Amino acid sequence: MAVDTEAPSAPATAQNGAATAQQKSRFQRYRVRTGMFAWIMHRLTGVGLVVYLIIHIWGLTSLSDPETFNALIAKYHSPIFKVGEFGLLVAVAYHAMNGLRIVLIDFLGWSPKQKRLFVTLGAVTALIILVGGWPSIYALGEWLFGPGSMPSLFL
């Protein structure tokens, strides 16, 4: 079974009433397993990337006017956009590595090793996020704590 469900915690008694018993039997709690979590996150990061592309294409329309373009670039250097850059990196890295996991499962038949593959590619994703996200974290830290407060590991 793809999704395991839990049975209602307490059986319906006469005191609870017929309506409560019917409600408990109608709703079940899902146990979110590794595959379900990966599927939900893959869909959410995909939607997030589509939203980013729409905003990015809208921003490219300012290329025709130099003043508008410079104002937009100035906004992109604000701390909220550094957080957005980091979020974009997280979404792209997760979506790419989970897509690779899906390809490996589909084409190589690694279905029994799905959880191990998810954890392994999750570690690779975390490494990509840490190394690739360091400039954004560094810039945000410099803004929050002042110049010279962040260690310059890769910069």
CATH number of 33-145: 1.20.1300.10
For the chain, domain boundaries: 1-31, 33-145
pLDDT class of 28 with cuts at 50, 70, 90: low
Task: Give the residue among 36, 54, 25 at the shortest CA–CA distance from 9.
Answer: 25
Per-residue model confidence (pLDDT) at position 71: 86
Q: What is the pLDDT of residues 83-132, one digit of tens each?
A: 889 999 999 999 999 999 999 888 887 777 788 888 999 999 999 999 99
Q: What is the pLDDT of residues 47-56, one digit of tens each?
A: 999 999 998 8
pLDDT class of 1 with cuts at 50, 70, 90: very low
DSSP string, 6-48: EPPSS---TTT-HHHHHHHHH--EEP--HHHHHHHHHHHHHHH
Per-residue model confidence (pLDDT) at position 18: 55
pLDDT class of 138 with cuts at 50, 70, 90: confident
Angle ∠(89,52,46) on CA atoms, nearest 5: 70
138 CB contacts (<8 Å, ≥6 apart)? 150, 152, 155
